[in-house]
Amino acid sequence: MKNNFIKSLLITFIALINSLTASPDINHPLAIAELIDIALENNPLTQQSWWTANRAASELGRAESAYYPKVELNANARNGKDFKFINGPNTEYTIVGADLILSMMLYDFGERNANANAAKMALTAANWQANFNIQKVISKVLEGAYSTLHAQEALEATQSSLEDAEKILYSAKELNRVGLTPISDVYTSQATWSQTHIDLCERKAQLDIEKGKLAASLGLSATASLQLASLCNVEAPQCQQINELIDLALTRRGDLAAKQARLQEAVFNQNKTRASCAPKLSLAGRVGANHALHDKTNGGQYEIGLNLNIPIFNGFDTIYQNRVAYANTKLAAADLAQLQLDIVLEVQKYSRTLEAMQEILPYSDENLKNAIQAYESVLDRYKAGKERIAEVSNAQQQLAAARIRHSDIKMRWLMAVANLAYATGTLPLSMKTS
């Protein structure tokens, strides 16, 4: 990954963390873009991603510190007494000393380099994963927003159905009052009106549940009061062949790039493990001074040396470390291969779903239009005494189902658009709200 990308991503996360102190303004109808901003500021996943990347950057600095010399200052004070049993006299001493110690690895056959490269790949993976987590948060917000809007539209559709049921009930009562229809028509209309009331209560509860889920995806309390601005003009994605979409996903998916970096990290860790059993050449130096308090004598010393360490046998630990590192590399490769298969399946699934929804949308519009016309026509004929109440109830139920189905299909189309963008790594979408 390019350094500019890493820097820009870290700057983005710093801005997100700094904005956490401000309470989001939710006391107005919220557009999709506002919901995404609130989620990125408050969702714990963004904070987790930030600290994961921060930790990976610190691990890289720690790995690169092996290239620098290490300097230590040791100070000591010693008090003792030498006993001379034959010739005497006994000698008591108190000595204060200090040593400045320098040590530096000169050559280790690539262990430090492999460790630093593994840390770089871990940082790269953390940043790519952070990028993917942002898209994951956006996807959750879109899912919650569309589900909430659908629940809201379904509630409005049920309210409209309740108004229709009240009209039918009123007509049935009037026609029965003048002796044109039997009392059973009133009972039938009353039953339909009651059932619609039941549906209305369920829709209200479902709307509250969806708002709670949306609030949770924003990082807010599920009891937060949210109002959503209605959608208008969501741009349909351009038609692309499935192979083009798969290629796009394999290029843009942050989680795939993170897995690729994790595989490289495993390879470098394997190289580090191999190099750990090679000889190591290091430089060591020491400069010190001593001062005796009793006889007021001073002394000093220095030493410098080259140390060659050659591992010979450590109880087979190196062999098993190499086996573990090799297994980790194979596991990382298998994880990468599995994710590639999953991505292709996701793209194929959401692409086909979107195609189906785009085919269904015009039929849904036509179905709703016809259901409205059929209901109005049957109701007019019933008022004129030319139709039975069963036909009116059936037309009213068909209209209620058409309203819910129309909202459901629109929501599924929106979700298909968002899911395909998520699967190909191209979120966020361009959307307009009223």
Q: 371 is in which domain, residue-wise?
A: 3-67+110-276+316-433
Identify which of 95, 67, 71 has the alpha carbon closest to the alpha carbon of residue 81: 95
**Residue 42 domain flag:** yes
Q: Give the span between the Cα atoms of 8 and 14, in whole angstroms.
A: 10
| pLDDT in the model for residue 345 | 96
Which has more pLDDT, 6 or 37? 37
**Residue 33 domain flag:** yes
Instruction: Look at phi and psi of residue 37 and say left if phi exceeds 0, alpha if psi is from -120 to 50, else beta.
Output: alpha
| The pLDDT of residue 237 is above 80 | no
- Dihedral of CA atoms 377, 382, 385, 389 in degrees, nearest 10, equals 140
| pLDDT in the model for residue 84 | 74
**Residue 78 domain flag:** no
| pLDDT in the model for residue 431 | 45
Identify which of 229, 181, 303, 171 has the alpha carbon closest to the alpha carbon of residue 34: 229
Which has more pLDDT, 294 or 429? 294
**Residue 290 domain flag:** no
Phi, psi of 399 (to 5 degrees): -65, -45
Confidence band, pLDDT 50/70/90 cuts, at residue 22: low
| The pLDDT of residue 430 is above 90 | no
| The pLDDT of residue 19 is above 70 | no
| pLDDT in the model for residue 236 | 65
pLDDT, one tens digit per residue, over 372-417 is 999 999 999 888 888 888 898 899 999 999 999 999 999 999 999 9
Contact 206, 406 (CB under 8 A): no
- Dihedral of CA atoms 336, 338, 341, 347 in degrees, nearest 10, equals -80
**Residue 285 domain flag:** no
Mean pLDDT (the chain) is 87
C-alpha separations of 23 from 20, 38, 107, 122, 213 in Å: 7, 9, 54, 34, 19
- The residue written with tokens 């050559």 in the block is 107
**Residue 75 domain flag:** no
Say how far residue 313 (Cα) sits from the centre of its chain.
Answer: 46
Phi, psi of 19 (to 5 degrees): -80, -5
Most confident of 130-134, 317-321, 333-337: 333-337
**Residue 415 domain flag:** yes
pLDDT, one tens digit per residue, over 136-187 is 999 999 999 999 999 999 999 999 999 999 999 998 898 888 888 889 889 9
CATH number of the domain to which 226 belongs: 1.20.1600.10
Domain count, the chain: 1
- Span 327-336, mean pLDDT? 96
Which has more pLDDT, 383 or 4? 383
